[in-house]
């Protein structure tokens, strides 16, 4: 009988612009566009375990959910395909050496392969990438650096930040809105066009996802950058998509400004009746929607307040711009 290996995997425009003393431009192109996001992880993430022959396989040094496999038998692996290939070379040994990264720690462990009915099993659920949607916040026309989301992307099972090996942003269109209600945040559903690549992702940080915009610069509005000390409570607007690819402006009211937090710098409430009618409040997929006040871009939407979904948080745009330039 031919022996097989089973490894369970889950996946998921030229313009002249004035340059300021900062690394970023004085005026930046605002987004509001719905985009698809895909990141290939720098290593293979362990997202769970299944029982083999009645028990869990955890390795000679215990493996945990959220650990990242970087090598198999001292061979670098970056995808599930590469992982499977390297394991397949060593089926006769019944054991494999794994190099594991856990936060800043690197360690070695040995994992025993179990043969069940002619099939070798690892006991690991793994993932090598993640896909989703968000809202493009800005493009710097001077450098073509873009920023989106205003917060990090984490793997939902492990709650660990995805370390970027490669990644892209691409065209997508909103197909459906699931409304938010207090206690439950709704979401945008979208059709993803993976082939229509708009840019490459270089990093996933606490302050957002950043990279290089590779497509022709869009015919978008350019706004001056608003500094934190220029932001006031009161009226502002956000730009986002609720239907297909149509970016629209909606009214919000800024209720609080907090410069002492990392990303929840701006607290706001949605006051636009049309937006509330269609979404119920802040929804998933709205992250990254640019916030405009007094004809300046001042921030981006980052979070809903779950118990009162008409309210949400935003990050200062200067924080995103500075992070994108690093």
Within 10 A of 274 (CB to CB), how many other CB atoms are there?
A: 11
pLDDT in tens, the chain (326 residues): 444 443 433 333 333 334 444 689 999 999 999 999 999 999 999 999 998 877 887 888 899 999 999 999 999 999 999 998 888 887 767 788 999 999 889 999 998 888 777 777 889 999 999 999 999 999 999 999 999 999 999 988 888 899 999 999 999 999 999 999 999 999 999 999 999 999 999 999 999 999 999 999 999 889 999 999 999 999 999 999 999 999 999 999 999 999 999 899 999 999 999 999 999 999 999 999 999 999 999 999 999 999 999 999 999 999 999 999 98
What lies within 8 Å, CB to CB, of 123 at 6+ separation is 49, 50, 51, 52, 56, 57, 58, 111, 114
The three-class DSSP label of residue 43 is: strand
Which sequence positions are flagged as catalytic?
A: 151, 272, 287
Q: What is the Cβ-side half-sphere exposure of residue 24, based on CA atoms within 13 angstroms?
A: 25
Q: How many CB atoms lie within 10 A of CB 24?
A: 22
Distance CA 44, CA 82 (A): 10
Task: Return the SS3 of 186.
Answer: coil
Which residue is listed with tokens 């607007």? 237
195 contacts 38 by C-beta, under 8 angstroms:
no
């Amino acid at each position: 009988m031919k022996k097989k290996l089973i490894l369970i995997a889950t996946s998921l425009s030229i313009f002249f612009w004035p340059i300021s003393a900062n690394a970023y431009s004085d005026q930046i192109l605002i987004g509001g566009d719905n985009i698809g996001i895909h990141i290939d992880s720098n290593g293979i993430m362990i997202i769970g375990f299944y029982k083999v022959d009645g028990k869990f396989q955890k390795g000679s040094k215990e493996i945990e959910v959220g650990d990242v496999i970087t090598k198999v038998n001292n061979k670098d692996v970056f995808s599930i395909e590469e992982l499977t290939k390297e394991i397949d070379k060593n089926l006769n040994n019944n054991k494999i050496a794994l190099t594991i990264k856990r936060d800043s720690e690197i360690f070695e462990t040995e994992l025993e392969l179990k043969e069940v009915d002619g099939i070798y099993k690892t006991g690991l659920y793994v993932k090598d990438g993640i896909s989703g949607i968000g809202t493009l916040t800005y493009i710097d026309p001077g450098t073509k650096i873009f920023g989106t989301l205003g917060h990090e992307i984490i793997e939902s099972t492990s709650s660990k930040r995805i370390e970027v090996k490669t990644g892209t942003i691409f065209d997508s269109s909103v197909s459906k809105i699931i409304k938010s209600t207090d206690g439950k945040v709704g979401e945008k559903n979208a059709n993803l066009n993976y082939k229509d690549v708009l840019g490459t992702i270089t990093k996933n940080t606490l302050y957002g996802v950043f990279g290089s915009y590779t497509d022709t610069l869009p015919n978008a509005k350019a706004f001056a950058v608003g500094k934190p000390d220029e932001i006031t409570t009161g009226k502002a607007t956000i730009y986002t998509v609720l239907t297909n690819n149509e970016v629209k402006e909606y009214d919000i009211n800024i209720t609080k400004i907090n410069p002492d937090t990392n990303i929840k710098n701006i607290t706001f409430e949605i006051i636009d009746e049309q937006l509330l009618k269609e979404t119920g409040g802040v929804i998933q997929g709205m992250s990254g929607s640019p916030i405009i006040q007094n004809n300046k871009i001042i921030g981006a939407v980052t979070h809903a307040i779950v118990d009162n979904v008409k309210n949400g948080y935003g990050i200062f745009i200067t924080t995103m711009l500075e992070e994108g330039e690093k």
